[in-house]
Structure 1
Amino acid sequence: MVNRNNHNNNQVPQVVLDPSQNPGSPYFIHSSDNPSATMVNPPLNGKNYNAWARSMKRALVAKNKFRFVNGEIPVPTATDANFEAWDRCNSLIHSWILNSVTTSIANSIVFLENACDAWRDLRDRFTQGDLVRISELHSEISNLKQNSLSVNEYYTELKILLEELENYRPIPQCRCAVPCRCDAIENVKLFREQDNAIRFLLGLNDSFGVVKSQILMSYPLPSIAKVVSLAIQHERQTVTEETGDSLAIVNAAEGKKPYGRGTSANSNYKNTGKFCTHCKKPGHTIEICYRLHGYPTTFNTRYGAQSSSHVNNTGRSYDSSDDQEDDAYSQRAIEEPFTADQYKRIIAMIQQVTTTPKKAPDSNNASVNHVIKSTAYEGETTRHGCSNQEEDWFG
């Protein structure tokens, strides 16, 4: 007779696995879970609890450990089979919380045994859901302006305040036994988003006036993300135009700069691409270099006696003293607009005019004016003309 219960006798007994070895269990601890790790940054300092709590919740949910702090996993008794696994997870989570707060706050919760108690203590201590904090948020949001901030920086600061206010004033959800099917809640969400977009536009600088008008006149009003995108595009375009205008002003200023020593307004010979291998100066070649072949006799300077050594000094080797002398001549040209002889002529004419009795206008005044103008013209010629003995060629 066949034993029909043979298959029952051959069943393998089920083995109860340790929950800490099951990757899907909240008691499971991965090898990378380090108790000295910092879960969020910046740490809790007493003023950033809402942002810190959200970041910490995300980190604990990712580790499958948030149910230890929100009370869903109760504290087991010492005789429970899962007590050891729970104790390991509790100590790990408590260490993460201690590492994610400042030292002063950590000292106040270090003696709490359960991570759930530490989490609740921080929530009760730093949650500021009172009307005082809500009024402060409304005041900060209304007074927030862009000023010197970029659009992205301004929007980031505004969004932080709006999210904190929304955390204190969340949109209510329908809890009726029979859920409503109307669009009332959706309209409330839409109106709040439009209010946030309008508040963002009001805080922008006056340079965004055109963009603000175009956005406010559009129907329906774009989402706040689209509004921020349009403002950033306008900011980028404005910066590009200002950069172009600045370059134009710089180029215009560069074009009006005076020419260098020994040049005239019409020459600009240094851009000819020629270069002398003897004196190492641009604008000419060694074949016509004055320093090598000598200055011509028609080379006039304001300091004729001092510069006579340069004229017809054929074959004189070039050294740095030449540039020093030229610089000295230029400095004296600035400090002394007239030569000594010109000063004497001007003084003599002035004395002649002051000692002569007043008469009808005659040629004396005209001659004085003529002398002054001529001497001034000569001074300007020597100051701006070919007075410094270098690079006065056009070849």
Structure 2
Amino acid sequence: MTKYGTKSGMASTSESTTPSPTPQIMSDASPLSITCHKLNGKNFLPWSQSVFMYICGRGKEEFLTGSASQPEFTDPNYKKWKAENNQVMAWLINSMIPEIGENFLLYPSASEIWDAARESYSCSDNTAELFAIESAVHDLRQEDSTVTEYFSTLTRNWQTIDLTETHDWKCSKDEKLFRSFIENKRVFKFLMGLNNNFDDVRGRILSTNPLPNLRAAFSVVRQEESRRKVMLGSSPQSSDNSALVVQRQNNPSTTDVTAHQGFRQGQPPNNTKGKMIPGRPWCEFCKKPTHNIDSCWKIHGKPLDWKPARERRAHSAVSEQPPSTAAPFTRTIGCSPEVILPAYDAIFCHRNG
């Protein structure tokens, strides 16, 4: 008699012992595009860092360093090495733009591709690129950027400098002192590049003893920026404009003084331009105040002794009434028919009306 329980138990045992795919095998089947930083000849540093992190996460960094040497053809592990090596090669080539990736298609191993890319595109030995980075850091200011954007730009450039500059330290204490010195210099640079509206928080940080590190200084300034946004509800520039508007509202005479100064300089205020002002001279010819038709410059020209306003004494005003003995004019009535007829009509109406 068949014992189904036993068979069922045997079947379940055989199913439980069936090996399942390992996570490593599944990771090898991941997409070939392993980073958003495709090597284009100018971004070797972010490309190399992101690619190295990805390949290390897959446990295959020895194919980049060269420690996974090629076995003999007769070695049983040769087929496995070849498959993994080609997998890493595919990752590297597909992380480059086509114009660059095509140059590495015929390389036999992933370590050779890695070394060739570093020799061709690394800026560690490129003095001109390092000089450009140092210049960009030196000239960088916050200006219209937020504190976070300004700090992130500085940090990216400093990380590039740190990765390209290598030092062989004989003493670990000297290395620690040097890094502390560089940290303080970078705190100074960060604070110097801030806008003037952060003078108060900048002073508080500089008065702290010992000087906080770069991340702590950034945190203090960022919190101050957030506090101002919450309390003022706008940027410092707009708050300055609001203060100016309040000042004008509290001192309305400012606009009146400005209008009065413009009138004294021969330019009537905008609300009286082209209108007759009671008690003031009025020209019937040019329809403007401050003079009459007998002294209109459009008819008679400017006086011979007339000088520009900049040559007069400061704050001198043009006389509202023409002098009793006016200087000769530079233009005569009979100079042009276009001027004669309207001028005679205006003078006739003025004297007979």
What is the TM-score normalised by the length of structure 1?
Answer: 0.52
- Cα root mean square deviation, aligned: 2.8
Distance 1:84 1:99 in 2: 23
Q: Report deviation, 1:22.
A: 11
Q: Report deviation, 1:201.
A: 1.1
Which residue of structure 1 lines up, in the alignment, with residue 142 of structure 2?
Answer: 146
Distance 2:46 2:188 in 1: 24
Following TM superposition, the consecutive aligned residue runs of length 4 or more in structure 1 with deviations greater than 2 angstroms are: 34-37, 170-174, 244-247
Larger Rg: 1
Q: 1:64 to 1:32 in 2, by over 3 A?
A: closer
Q: Report deviation, 1:159.
A: 0.6
Distance 2:152 2:88 in 1: 31
Matched, 1:159 2:155: yes
Identity %: 23
Distance 1:105 1:44 in 2: 8
Distance 2:53 2:81 in 1: 20
Which residue of structure 2 lines up, in the alignment, with residue 373 of structure 1?
Answer: none
How do 1:207-356 residues align onto structure 2 when only pairs under 5 Å count?
207-243=197-233
Matched, 1:38 2:33: yes
Q: Which of 26, 47, 50 is the aligned partner of 2:45? A: 50
Distance 1:203 1:72 in 2: 46
Q: Which of 88, 93, 104 is the aligned partner of 2:83? A: 88
Q: Report deviation, 1:115.
A: 1.2
Q: Report deviation, 1:104.
A: 1.2
Q: Report deviation, 1:138.
A: 1.1
What is the TM-score normalised by the length of structure 2?
Answer: 0.58
With 31-40 and 108-117 compared, the bigger mean Cα shift is at 31-40
Q: Report deviation, 1:240.
A: 2.3
Which residue of structure 1 lines up, in the alignment, with residue 61 of structure 2?
Answer: 66
Distance 2:27 2:127 in 1: 43
Distance 1:190 1:244 in 2: 37
Which residue of structure 2 lines up, in the alignment, with residue 118 of structure 1?
Answer: 113
Aligned residue type for 1:59:
Y
Aligned residue type for 2:226:
R
Aligned residue type for 1:200:
F
Distance 2:73 2:216 in 1: 57
Q: Report deviation, 1:113.
A: 2.5
Distance 1:143 1:77 in 2: 56
| 3-state SS of paired residue (2:123) | coil
Contact between 1:145 and 1:154, CA under 8 Å: does it hold in 2? yes
Q: Which runs of 5+ in 1 are unaligned?
A: 1-20, 175-179, 257-395
Q: Report deviation, 1:173.
A: 3.2
Distance 1:55 1:109 in 2: 19
Matched, 1:170 2:160: no
Q: Report deviation, 1:66.
A: 0.8
Report which structure shows greater RCO (CA 8 Å, sep ≥6).
1
Q: Report deviation, 1:242.
A: 2.8
Aligned residue type for 2:122:
T
| 3-state SS of paired residue (1:30) | helix
Distance 2:25 2:109 in 1: 21
Distance 1:197 1:34 in 2: 45
Contact between 1:29 and 1:89, CA under 8 Å: does it hold in 2? no
Q: Which runs of 5+ in 2 are unaligned?
A: 1-19, 250-353
Which residue of structure 2 lines up, in the alignment, with residue 108 of structure 1?
Answer: 103
| 3-state SS of paired residue (2:65) | coil
Q: 1:244 to 1:185 in 2, by over 3 A?
A: closer
Q: Report deviation, 1:106.
A: 1.3
Q: Which of 159, 173, 179 is the aligned partner of 1:189? A: 179
Q: Which of 176, 185, 205 is the aligned partner of 2:195? A: 205
Distance 1:66 1:80 in 2: 22
Corresponding pairs, count = 223
Q: Which of 105, 120, 137 is the aligned partner of 2:133? A: 137
Distance 1:123 1:232 in 2: 37
Distance 1:110 1:57 in 2: 19
Aligned residue type for 1:204:
L
Distance 1:71 1:242 in 2: 59
Contact between 2:85 and 2:109, CA under 8 Å: does it hold in 1? yes
How do 1:353-368 residues align onto structure 2 when only pairs under 5 Å count?
none
Which residue of structure 2 lines up, in the alignment, with residue 261 of structure 1?
Answer: none
